[in-house]
Amino acid sequence: MKNRFLLLMGLICAVLLAVSGTTAAAAEDAVEPLLPLPELLEGAEGTMVTIDGEDPMIGPHEKYYTFREDMKTAASYVDPSISVVIGRGRFKDTDYTYARVRIASAAQLRTLLASPLGSENEALGSAMAKRVRAVVALNGDFAAKQVRGTVIRQGEVLRLNSDGEDDVLIVDAQGDLHILEKGTNAQIEAFEGEILHSFTFGPALIVEGEPRYGSVDRAKATAKDAQRVAFCQTGPLEYLLMTSEGPEDKGSNGLKLDEFVELLAHFPEIRSAYNLDGGSSATLVFRKEDNNWRKVNSPHTRKERNIKDIIYFADAWEPAPDPTPTPEPEAAPEEGPENEIPEGGEPAAEEPPEGT
């Protein structure tokens, strides 16, 4: 009888421990919804600039930033041409940082190479973002270092060399993301519509709302706990720039590729998601203030390495100058005995005292 009782108690304890472990794991994997994406500002005085070819580099403007007490940098930026909100979360013992972006025109989604294709020159992502006065920027696909893959930037074909080995991301003239799984030159040339940008890194993480598990990334780091980067679309002219931390970041384990897909799958807003260069290249840049651009992911280390290219979002709003206050006219002196003018003209000069 005693043995049966001990056996029963042991089974109960085992069940409780299993339930407790399952509950703890579920709590650990719980993901909060994305922060709401602000609408574009309405009713402001100013001019919407048409971006045709060259970036006018007119922003961002200090008065459109907002701050939160829980962040050491600006938390959002909203003007009539672009809105950005920065958020953070935690998944599988790993911190992540993201930016949600809304723009008024697809021409505001732009790219910048640190140097021409084939060059060894690189630059910090924050320095490149400052050079073009980006509102927000994300590292790209390391295009200038690669030999394989198609590179189209701002509508210019810099290289056409897709051999079916990699998933290819295309951004069209409407700002929509299209993923060609195992893309080829023929598929790219047959693409209907104008291609603004293309990226070759991958793999596809979400295609038309469907997660893609079991893929292999270009860096062959699929099963490695690492920093990850994804460029996602959540709606017309709406995007999500997602970064997760790695084991070199304090308090984070890093994510395997399928775990990163699992994180993104928690957000039903995502229609397309594409894997970009991660590891130490993972860079999300948001302007702080006082002409200062900074990396905002991996906030515990702030380490930043040189990279080859960025995807960035430009400002297209020129606010009206603040009105110059009109100086108030000086008040006329009040009339009094000392200011009275006697009859017949100007007041008589005072007589000098006797003896002078």
Q: For residue 338, how many other CB atoms are within 10 A of its CB?
A: 7
Which among 243, 239, 233 has a CA at the least distance from the CA of 263?
243
pLDDT of 356 reads: 41
**Residue 356 lies inside a defined structural domain of this protein:** no
pLDDT (average), residues 188-204: 96
Q: Please, which pLDDT band fits residue 331 given cuts at 50, 70 and 90?
A: low
Q: Between these two residues, 6 and 291, which has the higher pLDDT value? A: 291
pLDDT at residue 23 greater than cutoff 50:
no
- CA 59 to CA 104: how far, in whole Å? 14
Structure tokens at 118: 């084939």
pLDDT (average), residues 34-38: 96
pLDDT (average), residues 154-178: 96
**Residue 314 lies inside a defined structural domain of this protein:** yes
Distance linking the first and last C-alpha atoms of the chain = 133
pLDDT of 16 reads: 45
What is the identity of the amino acid at 210? E
257 close to 222: Cβ distance less than 8 angstroms: yes
Q: Which domain holds residue 277?
A: 37-141+173-180+202-319
pLDDT of 74 reads: 73
Helices (H), strands (E): how many in the chain? Answer: 4, 23
**Residue 307 lies inside a defined structural domain of this protein:** yes
pLDDT tens per residue, range 67-111: 877 666 679 999 999 999 999 999 999 999 999 999 999 999 999
Q: Between these two residues, 191 and 328, which has the higher pLDDT value? A: 191
pLDDT of 1 reads: 52
pLDDT of 193 reads: 94
pLDDT (average), residues 25-46: 85
pLDDT at residue 234 greater than cutoff 50:
yes
How far, in Å, are 66, 140, 242 from residue 110 at the CA level?
A: 24, 11, 17
pLDDT of 300 reads: 81
**Residue 13 lies inside a defined structural domain of this protein:** no
pLDDT at residue 198 greater than cutoff 60:
yes
Helix (H, G, I), strand (E, B) or coil at 239: strand
**Residue 329 lies inside a defined structural domain of this protein:** no
270 close to 97: Cβ distance less than 8 angstroms: no
pLDDT of 72 reads: 65
**Residue 348 lies inside a defined structural domain of this protein:** no
Total count of domains within the chain: 1
Q: Between these two residues, 98 and 219, which has the higher pLDDT value? A: 98
Q: What average pLDDT does the structure give for the chain? A: 86
128 close to 305: Cβ distance less than 8 angstroms: no
Which among 228, 266, 233, 189 has a CA at the least distance from the CA of 101?
233
How far, in Å, are 66, 229, 252, 277, 289 from residue 63 at the CA level?
A: 8, 30, 35, 33, 10
278 close to 226: Cβ distance less than 8 angstroms: yes
Q: Please, which pLDDT band fits residue 44 given cuts at 50, 70 and 90?
A: very high
Q: Please, which pLDDT band fits residue 22 given cuts at 50, 70 and 90?
A: very low
**Residue 90 lies inside a defined structural domain of this protein:** yes
- CA 61 to CA 100: how far, in whole Å? 18
pLDDT at residue 235 greater than cutoff 60:
yes
Q: Between these two residues, 323 and 235, which has the higher pLDDT value? A: 235
Most confident of 14-18, 221-225, 255-259: 255-259
pLDDT (average), residues 286-291: 81
pLDDT of 52 reads: 83
**Residue 354 lies inside a defined structural domain of this protein:** no
pLDDT of 19 reads: 40
pLDDT at residue 265 greater than cutoff 80:
yes
pLDDT (average), residues 100-123: 94
Residue listed under structure tokens 């459109």: 64
pLDDT (average), residues 246-266: 95
